[in-house]
C-alpha cells in the first residue's frame, strides 16, 4: 500500500466518523433547529472527508488525477449548497411556527423580526 492511498483511506475514515456524529446529533438534539445545525455541519464534514478521500485513494491506486479534480469540484459544490439549503429549511421551520426548545436562551432571529416589524432602523 502506498502513502497516497493510505491518506485517502484515513480521510474516508474521518468522514465516516463525522457521519456517525451527524446521526448521533439527530438522535440526541432536542429540537428541529439544533438537529439541523448538528446534522448539517457533521454531514458536510463527513461528505468532504469521504469525497476527497476517495479521490486521493483512487490516485494512490493508479487512477488518473481527474478523480481528484472531480472530487474537489463535487466538494466545492457541497460546501456552497449544503449550508444554504439548511439555512432555508431552518428559516422555513421558524416562519412556519415550529417552537424552539424550552431550554433555548437566545432567539436572535425572533428579536430581528420584532425589531423589523416595529419599524425601527
pLDDT at 121: 54
What pLDDT shows up at residue 103? 86
Tell me how far the alpha carbon of residue 29 is from its chain's centroid: 16
CA–CA separation, 13 vs 25, rounded Å?
18
Q: What is the pLDDT of residue 84?
A: 92
Q: What is the pTM of this model?
A: 0.79
Residue 39 binned pLDDT confidence (cut-offs 50, 70, 90)? confident
Residue 16: predicted pLDDT: 95
Q: What's the rounded mean pLDDT across residues 69-89?
A: 91
- Looking at residue 53, what is its pLDDT? 93
CA-to-CA distance for 67 and 51, rounded, in angstroms? Answer: 10
Residue 1 has pLDDT above 80, yes or no: no
Per DSSP, the residues of 23-80 read HHHHHH-SSHHHHHHHHHHHHHHHHHHHHHHHHHHHHHTT--THHHHHHHHHHHHHHH
pLDDT band, residue 15 (cuts 50/70/90): very high
Q: In which domain, by residue range, is 86 found?
A: 3-117
Please give the tally of structural domains in the chain. Answer: 1
| pLDDT level of residue 61 (50, 70, 90 thresholds) | confident
Handedness of CA 30, 32, 37, 43 (dihedral sign): positive
Amino acid at each position: 500500500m502506498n502513502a497516497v492511498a493510505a491518506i485517502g483511506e484515513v480521510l474516508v475514515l474521518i468522514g465516516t466518523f463525522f457521519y456517525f456524529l451527524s446521526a448521533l446529533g439527530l438522535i440526541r438534539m432536542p429540537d428541529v433547529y439544533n438537529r439541523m445545525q448538528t446534522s448539517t455541519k457533521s454531514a458536510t464534514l463527513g461528505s468532504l472527508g469521504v469525497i476527497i478521500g476517495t479521490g486521493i485513494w483512487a490516485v494512490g491506486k493508479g487512477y488518473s488525477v481527474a478523480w481528484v479534480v472531480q472530487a474537489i469540484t463535487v466538494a466545492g459544490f457541497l460546501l456552497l449548497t449544503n449550508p444554504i439549503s439548511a439555512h432555508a429549511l431552518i428559516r422555513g421551520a421558524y416562519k412556519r411556527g415550529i417552537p424552539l426548545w424550552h431550554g433555548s436562551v437566545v432567539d436572535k432571529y425572533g428579536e430581528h423580526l420584532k425589531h423589523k416589524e416595529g419599524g425601527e432602523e
